[in-house]
Amino acid sequence: MGSHTAALATPSTLCSVLAAGSALRSGHREEAVDWQLAEEIPVAFVYNTIPHAVMMATPADLEDFALGFSIAEEIIDRPDATLLSKVEHHDAGVRLCIAVDPDHVGRGFSARRSMAGRTGCGLCGIEDLKNAVREPKLRTAPAPHVNPEAIIQAFDAMAHHQPMNSVNKSVHGAAFCDLDGRILMVREDIGRHNALDKLIGAIYRAKLTPCEGFVVMTSRCSFELVQKASAAGISLLATLSAPTALAVDLAERAGMSLAARAQPGAVVRFR
């Protein structure tokens, strides 16, 4: 992430729109207030001229989104197999036109979605139960050891690395941290799975190695986050809320570790 902070950026650059509202407090008169609302638009993924999926997302970091979604959804089997050839802006949303090397398509290339993916959903448009929960990629190398203090440090620092959320108070953050808990980069989005996609793309575009750090997210850990993280080679995923039972099961099968913030100053680690 760049060095800008919320104090130096404008709401327009932070994908926020000013809206008028009324503050209603018990025992007080109604007061007019201005509020910044997060932007949310359709983002279409088109591979080799073939429409694949439409995700509802925050219109930021689209190059990261294009690569990260392609890796996390296993559209490609290697990070250099795609080229974002064009970003088309339309009144209805944005279209990402992505060229894929046909010799390096992954198992997700043919799993097209028939409807838009909602911001809180990583599965919308999946038409068959057998495609809903794909087997996660198995790690072959041992995961590096991460001290709980490093995870706690990263959680404590997250708010200072989320310029968009500091303005609109409504977007998720996904951070890539080194093994000592220092945050190296953050991506934000109205959808938690989109935030992770964007972070994955940013990691690979920066030529970083996912297994040489860990990821912290300001959300719960659902199973599709585990699928995406395992596809990207992430060995530890720590989330603000606890994982689901299916998420833990998939993580064990992938050789991943999960962690959740139990309370300030403590984490619970699974596996």
| Other beta carbons within 10 Å of 51 | 12
In this predicted structure, the answer to whether residue 96 has a pLDDT above a threshold of 70 is yes
Instruction: Please compute the mean of the pLDDT values over residues 29-35 and round it to a whole number.
Output: 90
**How do the domains of the chain map onto residue ranges?**
41-131, 148-270
Catalytic choice (121, 124, 211, 221): 121
121 catalytic per annotation? yes
Joined together, the tokens standing for residue 173 give: 């953050």
Tokens of 182: 């220092």
Are both 41-131 and 148-270 of the same fold? no
Q: What pLDDT shows up at residue 131? A: 58
Cβ within 8 Å of residue 86, ≥6 positions away: 95, 96, 97
pLDDT digits (tens, 9 = 90+) for 97-115: 999 999 999 988 887 655 4
Q: For residue 271, name the pLDDT band (cuts at 50, 70, 90).
A: confident
Taking the C-alpha atoms of residue 146 and residue 236, their distance in angstroms, rounded to an integer, is 8
Q: Which fold has domain 148-270?
A: Cytidine Deaminase; domain 2 (3.40.140)
- 33 burial type by CB count under 10 A (0-12 exposed, 13-18 middle, 19+ buried): exposed
- Write the CATH number of the domain with boundaries 41-131: 3.10.20.10
Whole-number percent of the chain with pLDDT over 90: 74
